[in-house]
Amino acid sequence: MYYTINRTNLRDRIDEEVSIVANDAYGDNGLSLYDSIVLTEKDNDMVGRFIDDAINAFVNRTFDICKYYYTTESGSTETSESLEFYIPDFDETMEQATKDEITKFIVLYACTSLFQSRRPMVVPQFTERMQAALTKAVSLLKSRKSPIRLW
């Protein structure tokens, strides 16, 4: 199975999660904290590093079945990133659900890292969701096809 890393999609999903938290954030005096939490252009490099950290964490957790590839087309500036999984008896009907959980883990990992400085009170909630996504993704990746009777 291959998982293509789409950084644009990941950033959009991270922006969405951060906006939800920012919308609900108010200070002790009742003033909105939206502007101090929401992502801006200056946060792009930091979010990119958080995505890198999430990918590395996922690859480290699944090192026995996963390999990370970063390739550049010859004569081009286009790069592609992907994770390749060696799981010969993987049930292909679970592929999309597995990819969704991997995406969810990367997004929640990046958000958890961001909220450690911007909104520490939501870190436990995001950590719990992140761990659940990781556990489910690994469980799906390591599940096997049901055996088929031949007689």
25-77 pLDDT tens trace: 888 888 888 888 899 899 999 999 999 999 999 999 999 999 999 887 777 67
**Within a domain: 151:** no
State the residue range of the domain holding 34: 2-141
What are the CA-CA distances from residue 40 to residues 24, 32, 95 (Å)? 18, 17, 34
pLDDT digits (tens, 9 = 90+) for 109-138: 999 999 999 999 999 999 999 999 999 999
Provide the domain count of the chain. Answer: 1
> pTM of whole model > 0.75?
yes
Closest-CA residue to 38 (of 20, 24, 11, 19): 19
Strand partners, 82: 4, 69
**Within a domain: 146:** no
pLDDT digits (tens, 9 = 90+) for 82-103: 999 999 889 889 999 999 999 9
**Within a domain: 40:** yes
**Within a domain: 78:** yes
**Residue 47 · residue 14 · CB < 8 Å:** yes
